[in-house]
Structure 1
Amino acid sequence: LDTKTSSACLQVSPDRSQFFRYDSISLSCEHQLNSTGWKVKRKTPEGGIRPCSTGWGQASSGSSCLIKNTYPTDTGVYWCESDMGERSNSINITITDRPVILESPTLPVSEGAAVTLRCKAATNPSKYNFFKDGRSISSNSSGELIIQSASKSDEGLYSCSVVGLGESLESWMVVSEAVGADFLPAQHRTRPGEPLGSPPAGGGWLRRLGRGKSRYCPRNPTPDMRMKMDGRTNNRFTRK
């Protein structure tokens, strides 16, 4: 997806990249200054590149898109694009018929932030297993993997499994450089919902959500991932 990038961000709700068949997905374009004129687009093997409401999804509020009753054919790469050809970060979304999925953040996680990964199954199992880069890292009955303070060493491919049901697909979790108040414009440090400026490396921007939380959006597309579809090529996401 070679084109111009800008300070726009694709938001996915629920915040995960894996979905069961018949789930609903809400996608919205959030711009650092103005979201007007941005549209959600996607690229799929079956449908090529198309904006929302052209054979898929239902556009609402101009820069938002709702997909009801998802199908495996909705698997693809999604992003926001302006009338000028600028593009946001891109997110790989997979709709699977597998009975197990992993819930993990679609946007980069800031260093030091708490992160919870959740394993979802079609039934209510008594035990869940979590894996990172193909290695077992935890087993529990809660279905949650909690990282109290994320670091670069936590970055990698995560998956989960349930005995008798199988394993989820892998999802890549990105950990970004932490942003301290010293790097934020003073006028934006205490205004919920306002842009907070760029991280030290100039790689993105933050929006304060209140209660001490903020959302990081990469200025450039997230690490380029070559998507391999469920049931086609080893059911993996791999980095180029």
Structure 2
Amino acid sequence: MLVTPFCLMLTCLQVSPDRSQFFRYDSISLSCEDLINSTGWKVKRKTSDSGVRPCYSGWGFPSAASTCTIGNTYPTDTGVYWCESDTGERSNEVNITITDRAVILESPAMPVSEGAAVVLYCKAETNASKHKYNFFKDGRLIRSNCSGEMTLLSASKSDEGLYTCSAAGLGESEGSWLTVFSDPNNQHVQLTSVSFPGSRLLCHLIVGIPYLLSTILLGLIYRDRKREKLDSIYAYSVAIK
């Protein structure tokens, strides 16, 4: 999917593959991406069956620091997922749906930025024959084709809504809500898997520059005061002579 995920916080829950719907038995990787500190965050979830539980408590396997993997998903894994620190701070929330239906809609797990290109895929569990695919927004048919692909060239607020799709003879997918975020001041953090290291460096620069400038300013003040003191001593010694 050609998307620009939006994260409103420095710590974001990233879903791989980047979508909100999965077939039964699919594998999902969940990771807490922190622009400043990549440790100290744990993946948690809330489901209708078991309430709030952290990774490794019967539903996932921590494959690395701040990362959780679900090897074989089930419909009972449907729920809300997020990252949480030891001090109770929370990241964005992601709604994940695990379905036993024969069709899913592959749409971004996170909000997308206004103007970004977004590709939605209608995916059948079995592709033995050519299917006709239909895309719906808020219950209204908006596209039909045989490719199972629908592109929003430049996402706008009007594209927000509940999307579903269907494949002829296989039924309809679950619904996924597409959120388009408008950021006129460009003050929020944009994250993609390929640009994340650069974003991390940028964040460190933004945080460190004020301290660097303060250090330079204090050094200049100290130098000027020392120079004034030396000038005073010299003038006093000349006056005595």
Mean Cα deviation higher: 120-129 or 99-108: 120-129
Aligned partner of residue 76 in structure 2, secondary structure = helix
Structure number with the higher strand fraction is 1
Tell me, yes or no, if structure 1 residue 70 matches structure 2 residue 54: no
Are residue 25 (structure 1) and residue 9 (structure 2) matched? no
Please state how far the C-alpha of 1:135 moved relative to its aligned partner: 0.3
TM norm structure 1: 0.74
* Cα distance in 1, alignment partners of residues 174 and 72 from structure 2: 20
Q: Distance in 1 between matches of 2:9 and 2:85?
A: 9
CA contact (8 A) 1:21 1:72 kept: yes
Specify the code of the residue in structure 1 equivalent to 2:39: T
Q: What's the offset of the Cα at 1:6? A: 5.0
Percent identity reads: 67
**Residues 51, 150 of structure 1: alpha-carbon distance in 2 compared, 3 angstrom cutoff:** same
Q: RMSD across aligned C-alpha pairs, in angstroms? A: 2.0
CA drift at 1:126:
2.6
Write the distance in 1 (CA, Å) between the matches of 2:192 and 2:9.
Answer: 19
TM-score by length of 2: 0.73
- Deviation sequence 1:87-146 (CA, Å, 0-9, x none): 011111111110000000011111111000000102223310000011000001110010
Give 5+ residue unaligned stretches, structure 2: 1-7, 200-241
Gaps of 5+ in 1: 184-198, 216-240
Q: In structure 2, do the counterparts of structure 1 residues 77 and 206 end up closer, same or farther at CA, with 3 Å as the change threshold?
A: same
2:132 corresponds to: 127
Q: Does structure 1 residue 111 correspond to structure 2 residue 114?
A: yes
Distance 2:133 2:192 in 1: 33
Q: How many residues align?
A: 188
Q: Where does residue 144 of structure 1 map in the other structure?
A: 149
Larger radius of gyration: 2
SS where residue 102 of structure 1 aligns? strand
**Larger relative helix fraction:** 2
Q: Which residue of 2 aligns with 1:51?
A: 54
Query: 1:21, CA displacement in angstroms?
Result: 0.5
Residue identity opposite 2:166 in structure 1: S
Equivalent runs, 1:1-240 vs 2, <5 Å? 6-124=9-127, 125-178=130-183, 199-200=186-187, 204-207=188-191
Which contiguous aligned blocks of 4+ residues in structure 1 show a shift greater than 6 angstroms? none
